[in-house]
């Protein structure tokens, strides 16, 4: 008597709670939305979309074993079909033994080139992993079967092999199953034919026949001896059996079941270098907020920042364009800059930047690091052509969006975290390990992304001198693992606020302490030996120009920078006194001469509206203005010995006179000085929709889910047991139209009908009725007790005719 054949659903139902938890944690898409029972879970686990996600997450070792299982398993047929628990058991088909992995595994070991005992143990451990994530299921004898949709996801050419001969030419199947005869035919092939076979050995398994006569003769021998099979007029295919024979039974040219080691080199001062990079980034962001707050760049029509504005920002920050794009994208990820949403939109600092700039440095860095790690934007794509677009991607534009970069960042961080502290990996070795982790990703794209992630991590302070810093380890711990969806919480409870606090605390210990002084030199420069505290930093940005950055920042006092401070309302005495109090060195005389000279000229000429007037106690200054040809467009006119007027706007008049060597200041209508304050543009706060409340698929959630699935499965088993004890046949679920048609036929032919009727409690009651009228969505019938009753058709879940 044939034995019942198990299915994926039987395998899922037979797993322990811990095994089910591992399955859902490895494939969290199975839990969204929550399945009704274990049968539904099995059905979802075999869908193409879910299987594709699971396969794409495999490393090269698991993928090679899975490919070997597909090749070893023969035709997958309906393997993995969850089946209906109510269906009768399926009998074992004669070919089912070809569907399963051979119990001794010898052919599997041969395909993978695993002759030693240790290598075979590795293979079986990988097979168990594939079963654990639901890509395999176990039969009655614990033999493994590939889930039905796995071959569909892997494609028709597994590991570069072609289709089996029984798919290409079924009549040749017996011939190709004789391995010795097939080997003899290959050995007898002429040299040109053997060369053609060798070109197709490791893929692709499809070839195009050459048009010249010699090539046709070469291919004719292979076709006549059935080593190639024609699939079109000019195309041939190498059958899978021939390909394996040419590969001497091995499936892959190189089998790499274990991850390659990452070579490292010891480095020192990792945390100190990382802290310096983080401090430098904070300085760049302060300057970005100041520059864009004063003159916000316009948003281009297609979204993003124009190339000209990006280069202008890079010049203002004294950075190259690539690093400036990174700083801008980091500010955007941390919600420090945004599109203001006006009719003519501009990119401006948000209102959050004011609170952010006054917090402790470590807490300023934490949202930058977390925003970078969680962002789906790739700053390294700025300036490149992305996809089919004809133009380069703009900073802050939509073309920089690339969701895959988030996963690559996390994988790189976790690989670095796996190394010993103070060990910097060799980039090429790290690249090989990542390519092994994600073999289905294009190597060129992954390599380019790896270089970008390592470069950005160094700029951000996540790494120092190539090694992961202590703050970088805290950041890695706050992120989901590379293979597990569970976030490893760095604090009890694992809340987002707790993660930010831990990351901030880790960086605070390594950031350079802010200093409250500078060292003024005789050459009118001032050296800041570290990051300046808030008020002094703001003053130095206003009163001096940055000349160089590094471990120490060098500022230079110039006439323009001094005048900038005087325009902002500082007096010469206040300016000199502030610098004297902030300097650990005596102020040189050239500095005081510079300030006094600029202050002496500053405000000698005052401008008001007439549209504008110019007045000065020094008549010779006004004479010079009237005589200057360059100022002729201002149409200056003398009203009095010390007063000129112009039709130009007062602000334009001030700028033009300064451009030509004068030092005027603007005067209000009441005669008071109008101080020039840098405008502070802010992007208005937009109403943001509340984020969706999604509970993570973590251990607690999965444990609760599995308990619910067990309870649902127990209820389903109970219902099936009750169903089996009830009188009458099984009532299938039918469409209302089908139900009405069946009831009308029963009325016409006077047949009895078994129906299932849903009650108010959600249960389904069975009734044997003899209908005599169907009308208006109701059926009138005589029940088993001889009583006449009516039923609403919309409450009838199914119907089937009574069997005689």
Same domain, 476 and 537: no
Give per-residue pLDDT as tens, 639-680: 888 888 888 888 888 888 888 888 888 887 666 777 766 666
Same domain, 68 and 124: yes
Query: Is residue 488 scored above 70 in pLDDT?
Result: no
What is the average pLDDT across 736-751? Answer: 85
Last residue within a domain, chosen from 573, 601, 629: 601
Q: Out of 120-129, 311-320, 728-737, pick the least confident.
A: 728-737
| Model confidence band, residue 681 (pLDDT cutoffs 50, 70, 90) | low
Contact assessment for residue 351 and residue 681, using Cβ atoms and an 8 Å cutoff? no
Query: Which run of H or E residues covers position 678?
Result: none
Beta strands 673-674 and 664-667: pairing type? Answer: antiparallel
Is 123 part of a structural domain of the chain? yes
pLDDT at res. 309: 92
pLDDT at res. 254: 87
Query: Is residue 378 scored above 90 in pLDDT?
Result: yes
CATH number of the domain that residue 744 is part of: 2.30.30.100
Is 190 part of a structural domain of the chain? yes
pLDDT at res. 400: 92
Q: What stretches of 373-490 adopt beta strand conformation (E)?
A: 423-425, 463-464, 467-468
Query: Is residue 355 scored above 90 in pLDDT?
Result: no
Same domain, 562 and 650: no
Query: Which has the higher per-residue pLDDT, 139 or 521?
Result: 521
How many structural domains are present in the chain? 6
Contact assessment for residue 555 and residue 528, using Cβ atoms and an 8 Å cutoff? yes
Is 52 part of a structural domain of the chain? yes
pLDDT at res. 51: 92
Give per-residue pLDDT as tens, 538-561: 888 888 888 887 778 888 999 988
Query: Is residue 17 scored above 60 in pLDDT?
Result: yes
pLDDT at res. 482: 57
Query: Which has the higher per-residue pLDDT, 340 or 397?
Result: 397
What is the average pLDDT across 438-458? Answer: 92
Give residue 173's Cα distance to chain centre.
46
Is 184 part of a structural domain of the chain? yes
Is 727 part of a structural domain of the chain? no
Same domain, 473 and 370: yes
In the block, residue with structure tokens 């700053």: 379
Of 139-143, 382-386, 481-485, which one has max mean pLDDT?
Answer: 382-386
Same domain, 359 and 463: yes
pLDDT at res. 676: 67
What range defines the domain where residue 338 resides?
264-508
Same domain, 421 and 382: yes
Q: Out of 209-218, 382-391, 625-634, 736-745, pick the least confident.
A: 209-218
- Whole-number mean pLDDT of the chain? 82
Contact assessment for residue 281 and residue 84, using Cβ atoms and an 8 Å cutoff? no
Give per-residue pLDDT as tens, 502-527: 899 999 888 888 888 889 998 889 99
Of 4-8, 66-70, 497-501, 712-716, which one has max mean pLDDT?
Answer: 66-70
Distances (CA, A) of 603 to 588, 599, 619, 624, 673: 25, 8, 14, 16, 9
Neighbours of 613 (CB within 10 A): 20
Cα–Cα distance for residue pair 428/415, rounded to 1 Å: 13
Cα–Cα distance for residue pair 503/578, rounded to 1 Å: 36
What is the average pLDDT across 424-437? Answer: 92
Query: Is residue 385 scored above 70 in pLDDT?
Result: yes
Last residue within a domain, chosen from 581, 601, 621: 601
Query: Is residue 704 scored above 70 in pLDDT?
Result: yes
Last residue within a domain, chosen from 638, 654, 674: 674
In the block, residue with structure tokens 């290959």: 186
Query: Is residue 3 scored above 90 in pLDDT?
Result: no
In the chain, the N- to C-terminal Cα span, in Å, equals: 29
Same domain, 432 and 498: yes
Is 105 part of a structural domain of the chain? yes
Same domain, 112 and 33: yes
Give per-residue pLDDT as tens, 552-606: 888 899 998 888 888 888 888 888 899 999 999 999 988 888 988 888 888 777 7
Same domain, 350 and 272: yes
Cα–Cα distance for residue pair 627/618, rounded to 1 Å: 15
**Those residues with Cβ within 8 angstroms of residue 424's Cβ, 6 or more apart along the chain or in another chain:** 264, 265, 266, 267, 465, 466, 467
Contact assessment for residue 450 and residue 426, using Cβ atoms and an 8 Å cutoff? no
Is 725 part of a structural domain of the chain? no
Neighbours of 686 (CB within 10 A): 10
Q: What percent of the chain has pLDDT over 90?
A: 23
Neighbours of 62 (CB within 10 A): 20
Cα–Cα distance for residue pair 360/505, rounded to 1 Å: 10
| Model confidence band, residue 175 (pLDDT cutoffs 50, 70, 90) | low
Same domain, 307 and 417: yes
Cα–Cα distance for residue pair 99/143, rounded to 1 Å: 10
What is the average pLDDT across 684-690? Answer: 52
pLDDT at res. 99: 40
pLDDT at res. 75: 36
Same domain, 596 and 621: no
| Model confidence band, residue 80 (pLDDT cutoffs 50, 70, 90) | very low
Same domain, 636 and 767: no
Closest CA to 599 of 625, 573, 568: 573
Is 684 part of a structural domain of the chain? no
In the block, residue with structure tokens 């934490």: 366
Q: What percent of the chain has pLDDT over 70?
A: 85
Give per-residue pLDDT as tens, 226-280: 788 888 877 888 888 888 888 888 888 888 888 899 999 999 999 999 998 998 8
Beta strands 664-667 and 605-608: pairing type? Answer: parallel
Of 50-54, 387-391, 509-513, 765-769, which one has max mean pLDDT?
Answer: 50-54
Query: Is residue 79 scored above 50 in pLDDT?
Result: no
Helices and strands: H and E segment counts in the chain:
33, 28
**Those residues with Cβ within 8 angstroms of residue 97's Cβ, 6 or more apart along the chain or in another chain:** none
Which residue intervals of 100-202 are DSSP H helices? 106-112, 117-132, 150-154, 165-168, 173-177, 179-187, 191-201
Locate 452 and state its tokens. Answer: 């970008």
Q: Out of 1-15, 307-321, 473-487, 497-511, pick the least confident.
A: 473-487
């Amino acid at each position: 008597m044939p034995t019942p054949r198990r299915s994926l659903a039987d395998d899922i139902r037979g797993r322990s709670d811990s095994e089910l938890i591992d399955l859902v944690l490895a494939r969290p898409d199975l839990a969204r939305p929550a399945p009704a029972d274990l049968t539904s879970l099995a059905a979802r686990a075999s869908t193409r979309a879910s299987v594709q996600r699971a396969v794409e997450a495999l490393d090269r070792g698991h993928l090679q074993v899975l490919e070997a299982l597909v090749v070893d398993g023969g035709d997958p047929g309906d393997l993995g079909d969850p089946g209906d628990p109510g269906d009768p058991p399926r009998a074992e088909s004669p070919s089912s033994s070809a569907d399963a992995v051979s119990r001794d595994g010898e052919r599997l070991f041969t395909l993978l080139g695993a002759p030693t005992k240790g290598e075979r143990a590795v293979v079986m451990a990988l097979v168990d992993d594939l079963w654990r994530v639901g890509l395999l299921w176990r039969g009655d004898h614990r033999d493994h079967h590939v889930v039905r949709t796995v071959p569909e996801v892997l494609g028709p050419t597994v590991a570069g092999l072609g289709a089996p001969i029984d798919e290409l030419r079924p009549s040749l199947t017996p011939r190709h199953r004789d391995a010795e005869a097939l080997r003899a035919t290959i050995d007898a092939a002429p040299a040109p034919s053997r060369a053609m076979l060798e070109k197709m050995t490791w893929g692709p398994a499809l070839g195009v026949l050459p048009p010249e006569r010699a090539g046709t003769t070469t291919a004719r021998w292979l076709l006549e001896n059935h080593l190639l099979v024609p699939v079109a007029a000019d195309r041939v295919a190498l059958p899978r059996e021939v390909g394996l024979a040419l590969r001497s039974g091995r499936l892959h040219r190189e089998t790499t079941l274990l991850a390659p080691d990452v070579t490292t080199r010891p480095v020192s001062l990792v945390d100190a270098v990382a802290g310096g990079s983080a401090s430098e980034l904070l300085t760049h962001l302060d300057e970005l907020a100041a520059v864009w707050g004063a003159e916000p760049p316009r948003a281009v029509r297609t979204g993003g920042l124009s190339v000209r504005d990006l280069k202008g920002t890079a010049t203002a920050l004294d950075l190259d364009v690539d690093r400036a794009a990174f700083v801008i994208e980091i500010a955007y990820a941390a919600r420090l800059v945004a599109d203001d949403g006006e009719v003519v939109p501009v990119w401006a600092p948000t209102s959050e930047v004011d609170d952010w700039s006054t917090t402790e440095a470590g807490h300023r860095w934490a949202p930058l690091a977390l925003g970078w790690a969680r962002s789906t934007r790739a700053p390294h794509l700025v300036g490149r052509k992305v996809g089919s677009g004809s133009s380069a991607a703009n900073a802050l534009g939509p073309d920089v969006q690339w969701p895959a970069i988030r996963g690559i960042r996390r994988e790189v961080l976790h690989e670095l975290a796996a190394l010993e502290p103070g060990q910097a990996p060799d980039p090429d070795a790290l690249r090989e390990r990542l390519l092994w982790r994600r073999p289905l990703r294009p190597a060129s794209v992954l390599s380019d992304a790896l270089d970008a992630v390592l470069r950005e991590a160094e700029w951000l302070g996540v790494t120092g001198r190539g090694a992961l810093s202590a703050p970088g380890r805290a950041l890695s711990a706050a992120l989901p693992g590379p293979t597990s969806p569970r976030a490893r919480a760095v604090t009890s409870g694992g809340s987002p606020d707790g993660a930010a606090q831990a990351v901030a605390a880790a960086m605070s210990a390594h950031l350079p302490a802010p200093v409250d002084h500078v060292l003024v030199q005789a050459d009118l420069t001032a050296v800041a030996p570290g990051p300046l505290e808030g008020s002094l930093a703001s003053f130095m940005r206003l009163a001096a120009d940055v000349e160089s950055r590094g471990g120490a920042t060098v500022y230079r006092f110039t006439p323009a920078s001094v005048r900038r401070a005087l325009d902002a309302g500082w007096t010469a005495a206040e300016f000199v006194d502030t610098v004297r109090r902030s300097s650990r060195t005596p102020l040189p005389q050239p500095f005081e001469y510079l300030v006094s000279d600029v202050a002496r000229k500053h405000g000698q000429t005052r401008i008001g509206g007439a549209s504008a007037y110019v007045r000065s106690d020094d008549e010779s200054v006004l004479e010079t203005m009237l005589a200057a040809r360059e100022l002729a467009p201002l149409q200056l006119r003398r009203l009095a010995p010390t007063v000129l007027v112009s039709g130009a706007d007062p602000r334009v008049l001030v700028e033009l006179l300064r451009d030509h060597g004068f030092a005027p200041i603007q005067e209000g209508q009441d005669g008071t000085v109008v101080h020039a304050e840098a405008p502070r543009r802010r992007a208005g706060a937009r109403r943001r929709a509340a984020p969706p409340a999604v509970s993570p698929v973590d251990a607690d959630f999965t444990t609760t889910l599995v308990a619910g699935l067990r309870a649902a499965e127990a209820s389903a088993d109970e219902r099936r047991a009750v169903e089996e004890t009830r009188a009458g046949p099984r009532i299938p679920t039918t469409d209302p139209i089908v139900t009405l048609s069946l009831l009308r036929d029963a009325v016409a032919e006077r047949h009895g009908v078994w129906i299932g009727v849903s009650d108010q409690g959600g249960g389904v009651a069975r009734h044997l009725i003899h209908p005599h009228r169907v009308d208006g969505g109701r059926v009138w019938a005589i029940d088993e007790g001889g009583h006449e009753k009516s039923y609403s058709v919309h409450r009838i879940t199914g119907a089937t005719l009574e069997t005689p």
